[in-house]
Each structure stands twice: as structure tokens, then as C-alpha cells.
């Protein structure tokens, strides 16, 4: 008479065989906190803006030029029923927009009761930068951007300066648009 193995013993045998051939788990990687930013270029520099500090990014809207304002104020646009002042950020900083008109974008911010659009050369999109790559070294920031940049993120092939719109809105020169 042949002896039959119970189903439990068969399963136990299979489990032992698989355990002998099993691979270990991969080495645990350290989790590094990241910062969500929107990356763009202006005056030939790579800039980043914290995602939580912007409302949206739009194509250059049709705007109405305004009389008796500073040369860097492009005009007023209608953004879904809301008046949006459009500022040429490059000209405010002493330069000119260099991106082709089709790739220029307007970054819309709404902080401290100020609703404004900042025209920039090109927007590259959202990225996640590791917070441990952030540095506050002032020597990496050009003089024209220094009052508005908090620091920079060093990546493998580039440096992205963190622009803080609150510092821009606190600048009296930026807020006084009347010529």
C-alpha cells in the first residue's frame, strides 16, 4: 500500500523549497524629502518657483497697454473675468525677454492681495528637487536676481535658483508701477 502525503505536508514541502531559493529584499534606500517647484528660464538663468506659490501658468494673453505706467508693465489682461496686470519680469530686472513669443509664458501669482502675471522666457514644467541639494550660497546668484532669490538647487548638470515672489512683492520698486 502506498502512503499518501497529506495536503498540508505537500504545501509545507513547497513552502520550504521556495524559501530555500528565495532572494532577499533589496537594500533599503534612504528617503530624502523633496520640494515641488516649477522651473523656468529668464535672462538666460534657470529659475524655480515653489509650486504652492503660484496659481497657474498661461500663454501670453492679449493685454491692453496702460498709459503712464513703467516700461516693464505690459498691460492688463482679462483672466476669466479677473483683471491681471502683466509684468515683463526681464525688463523689470534690467534685461529683455529672449524666448520666442510662442514659448513665452506668464506665471500667475496671487499673494498678499496682489494678483499679477510675470512674463518669462520659457517654462519647463514641474520638478521635484531634493531638499538636501539646496544651498543659500550668494555667489551662485547674479546680482540682479539676488534680492528675489532665496538660494539654489544644485542638480547633476545645472543650478536652479529659487525665486520667491513674496520678496518681489515686498520690493517697493516693483509695487510702484506709475511712471
- pLDDT of 57 reads 97
Q: How many CB atoms within 10 Å of residue 77? A: 19
Q: Where do the domains of the chain lie, and which CATH numbers do they carry?
A: 34-175 (2.40.50.180)
Distance from chain centroid for Cα 131 = 13
Q: What is the DSSP string of the chain?
A: -PPPPPHHHHHHHHHHHHHHHPPPPPPPPPP--EEEEEEEEETTEEEEEEGGG--EEEEPPP-B--TTB-TTEEEEEEETTEEEEEEEHHHHTTS---S-TTT-EEEEEEETTEEEEEEESEEEEEEEEEGGGEE--GGGS-TTTGGGEEEEEE-SS-EEEEE-HHHHHT-HHHH--B-
CA nearest neighbour of 129 among 106, 161, 105, 107: 161
**Average pLDDT, consecutive stretches of 10 residues, N- to C-terminus, the chain (179 residues):** 73 85 74 92 95 96 96 96 96 92 96 94 95 85 91 90 94 92
- Name the residue with cell 520640494: 35
- pLDDT of 1 reads 45
Amino acid at each position: 500500500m502506498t502512503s499518501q502525503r497529506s495536503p498540508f505536508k505537500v504545501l509545507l514541502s513547497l513552502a520550504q523549497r521556495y524559501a530555500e531559493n528565495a532572494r532577499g529584499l533589496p537594500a533599503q534606500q534612504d528617503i530624502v524629502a523633496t520640494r515641488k517647484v516649477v522651473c523656468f528660464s529668464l535672462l538666460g538663468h534657470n529659475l524655480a518657483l515653489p509650486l504652492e506659490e503660484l496659481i497657474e501658468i498661461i500663454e501670453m494673453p492679449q493685454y491692453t497697454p496702460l498709459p503712464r505706467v513703467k516700461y516693464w508693465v505690459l498691460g492688463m489682461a482679462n483672466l476669466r473675468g479677473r483683471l491681471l496686470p502683466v509684468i515683463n519680469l526681464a525688463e523689470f530686472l534690467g534685461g529683455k525677454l529672449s524666448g520666442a513669443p510662442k514659448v513665452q509664458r506668464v506665471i500667475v501669482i496671487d499673494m498678499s492681495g496682489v494678483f499679477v502675471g510675470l512674463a518669462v522666457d520659457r517654462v519647463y514644467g514641474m520638478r521635484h528637487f531634493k531638499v538636501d541639494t539646496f544651498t543659500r550660497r550668494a555667489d551662485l546668484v547674479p546680482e540682479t536676481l539676488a534680492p528675489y532669490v532665496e538660494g539654489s538647487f544644485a542638480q547633476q548638470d545645472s543650478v536652479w535658483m529659487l525665486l520667491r515672489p513674496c520678496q518681489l512683492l515686498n520690493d517697493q520698486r516693483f509695487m510702484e508701477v506709475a511712471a
